Structure 1
Amino acid sequence: MPYIIKRAQKLLIRFICVLLVMAAFVPVRISADSGKTITLECSKDEVIIAGMRWKLFRTGERNGSGFIFTGDFAGCQADMSDMSAENISRAAQTVESYAIKKMLAPIAEGLTDSSGKISFGGLSDGLYLAIGYPVDIAPYYYEPSPLLMEVRSDKDSFTFDAYPKIIRVTLSDRVVSYTVKKVWLDNDDLYEARPTYVTVDIFRNEELYDTVILNEENEWKYRWVESDTGAQWRVAERAVPVDYEVRIEHNDTQFLVRNRHKTVTDWDEGDRTTTVTPNITTTTMTTAVTTSEEKTKTTVPPTTSAPPVTTTGLPQTGQLWWPVLPMVIGGLLLIAISFFFRPGRKNE
């Protein structure tokens, strides 16, 4: 009986050794972190901007070749039909105004670190809005433009690096004049859908500062004066008229609120002379996808109609070969030990 037990133990050890050697040649796979990441890198003229606050919102998702607003943004009447490099910046400003007007809660927020970066991880595919806030770095303050970005990839993990447009303004005690103007694009009210007035809310640092009525009597515009303290000013149309879409454009002192009737196809139709002096420029984004072996960068305009982000050798799961040698040595060593301690056969 002892001989049978020892024989069984020896066979078990050999079986385990064989399994170890075989396992050494089977790829070991580990799961990568799920979700996708947006990283914002903030700088202006080689000045790294640390401590800049950002909020991230999920606004919608792709619907064929376009987008639909979902969740808290389902009621947004911004035009998303033209996502060219020129219009994506204007769309971002419009969606930002909606978020401020509705006092929507972000899915994430934080401050840029000492390198001017902030990352938002664990994201799913969809359309995202990033809103940034001014920061004082004497003798200037820096104010970022909002960003609309689409997270879209056939991979489970990738990083989207974006470089927001940031304006720099010299801090001073000067008095600044601000203007908000309403423009109608409806073929001179051909369908008699235009209301007799609109209500516009003015926000200072996301807090309601004033509410004004725009109508024909004041030529659909309003002007106010404030000290230049580096505050962030935004406007929002309280209720967009039925059968109209809205577009809001602004620089640091001028705000233009356009309402376009659904029968009009051109945002400039009938309004060739009304513009906002452009501090609004196209922002170039860089998509950076990092793998364990290399980093591939592709410069694209900030258009959410861009094709899916693809990468070279992006590891959704990782294949590791470093354990092979130790497992082979361990298996062979155990086999050698089993033979070394092999019991001698007893004479019956």
Structure 2
Amino acid sequence: MKHLMKTIGAVLCAGGLLMTGAAATQLAFAAGDIGSLTLHCVKDDVILENLQWELYRVGSREGNTFVPEGEFASYSVIIDDFSPEAMAAFAETYENIALTDPDIDPLRTGATDAQGTLVFDALESGLYLVCGSVLEVDDGYYIPSSLLFEINGENTTMDWDAYPKIEYHTNSELEVIYTVKKVWLNENGELRDPATEITVEIYRDLELYETVVLSDANNWTYEWKDKDYYDFRVIETVIPEGFRVEYESNETQYLIKNIYQPTDTTTSTPQDTTTTETTTLITTATEDERLPQTGQLWWPVILLALGGLVFLAMGCRFLFASREE
């Protein structure tokens, strides 16, 4: 089924944008060595029971970057840009990798209960990704957004409550044209000359559908036609040396970015960011001992809208609460 939302809470808005609840999201807190994530899944007062979720540990913090670990370490994806656009792309990139690499297994899986709730508890420090599956009902289907979150700190417990963005769509036999395009960028995000041709695997509903080569000969672009209810994903099979990869998409367009990664790079420090969110998270930090908060800066983990190939801020609020024992 069609998975329209491919980024971390990416939302496609066909009729325009409703801008609400913008708020600055600089958050300072001490997160915990042990934490939890509770998902609350409701759409238009409909409680979504048996919505399947997968939890992945993708990496950990090293200074001002997040470095992939385990099976994710073989991919050239290091989070060192904390802008809203970059965070949305990183989330989609990790989701694509997790769902198409057969060697990557989720840390845990689960389904929502009769209240639409699912808890992943006893989480150690690290960066995590949660991905939801399409839930088919009668003549339609529900599409949950995925999200990234971090558990990190000392002598505290960090508990997240997340209310994922969920869209409902009716089934359709409409055929549409899908497009995958490759761009080459320098370290400043500017277009640069291509390095080499690349091979791309196209997945339909998580099954390998087609393998294509993108090069100057086809303007680094490939198109195909299929029903609009399918969930397509694209993966670059081999990342050229000296580059890292990012993926972005909307309903029918898929963008692969190879970004030049100089050997000697400096990392950016997360800055105060004003954005709007489409998933609400409430966090509660409970200190095991009376320790001052660390002042660690939290980047805006959730969520950004994606229209075409341009990220647009949409949605509701990001909430944060903390309490000391």
Q: What's the TM-score once normalised by structure 2's chain length?
A: 0.69
Kindly provide the amino acid, as one letter, of the partner of residue 258 in structure 2.
N
Counterpart residue number, 1:89: 88
| In the alignment, structure 1 residue 313 sits paired with structure 2 residue 303 | no
* Offset of residue 58 of structure 1: 0.5
Q: Contact between 2:66 and 2:78, CA under 8 Å: does it hold in 1? A: no
Aligned mates of 1:47, 1:85 — CA distance in 2: 30
Give the direction of change, closer, same or farther, for the CA distance of 1:107–1:289 in structure 2 (3 Å limit).
same
* Offset of residue 70 of structure 1: 1.2
**Residues 54-73 of structure 1, C-alpha deviations (whole Å, 9 max, x = no match):** 11111111111221111111
Q: Contact between 1:283 and 1:301, CA under 8 Å: does it hold in 2? A: no
Q: Which has the larger radius of gyration?
A: 1
* Offset of residue 87 of structure 1: 2.5
Give the direction of change, closer, same or farther, for the CA distance of 1:167–1:208 in structure 2 (3 Å limit).
same
Kindly provide the amino acid, as one letter, of the partner of residue 157 in structure 2.
S
Q: Which has the higher strand share?
A: 2
**Residues 248-304 of structure 1, C-alpha deviations (whole Å, 9 max, x = no match):** 001222111111112599xxxxxxxxxxxxxxx85443123287xxxxxxx983269
Aligned mates of 1:140, 1:121 — CA distance in 2: 31
Aligned mates of 1:147, 1:137 — CA distance in 2: 23
* Offset of residue 189 of structure 1: 4.6
Q: Contact between 1:286 and 1:300, CA under 8 Å: does it hold in 2? A: no
Aligned mates of 1:178, 1:44 — CA distance in 2: 28
**Residues 231-264 of structure 1, C-alpha deviations (whole Å, 9 max, x = no match):** 3221111111111111100122211111111259
Q: Which has the higher helix share?
A: 1
Aligned residues: 251
* Offset of residue 79 of structure 1: 4.3
* Offset of residue 100 of structure 1: 2.7
Counterpart residue number, 1:117: 117
Counterpart residue number, 2:228: 228
RMSD: 2.9
**Residues 311-346 of structure 1, C-alpha deviations (whole Å, 9 max, x = no match):** 4234xxxxxxxxxxxxxxxxxxxxxxxxxxxxxxxx
Q: What's the TM-score once normalised by structure 1's chain length?
A: 0.65
> Matched residues, percent identical?
37
Name the SS of the counterpart of 1:217 in structure 2. helix
**Residues 57-102 of structure 1, C-alpha deviations (whole Å, 9 max, x = no match):** 1111111122111111112212411123332221110011222332
Aligned mates of 1:62, 1:303 — CA distance in 2: 18
Name the SS of the counterpart of 2:240 in structure 1. coil
Counterpart residue number, 1:205: 205
Name the SS of the counterpart of 2:97 in structure 1. helix
For structure 2, the residue ranges without an aligned partner over 5 or more in a row are: 1-32, 266-275, 287-297, 304-319
Aligned mates of 1:242, 1:81 — CA distance in 2: 18
Q: Contact between 1:203 and 1:234, CA under 8 Å: does it hold in 2? A: yes
Q: Contact between 1:59 and 1:70, CA under 8 Å: does it hold in 2? A: yes
Aligned mates of 1:221, 1:167 — CA distance in 2: 29
**Residues 1-348 of structure 1 correspond to what in structure 2 (within 5 A)?**
35-103=34-102, 104-186=104-186, 189=192, 194-195=195-196, 197-229=197-229, 231-263=230-262, 282-289=277-284, 301-302=300-301, 311-314=322-325
Q: Contact between 1:204 and 1:234, CA under 8 Å: does it hold in 2? A: yes
Q: Contact between 2:49 and 2:111, CA under 8 Å: does it hold in 1? A: yes
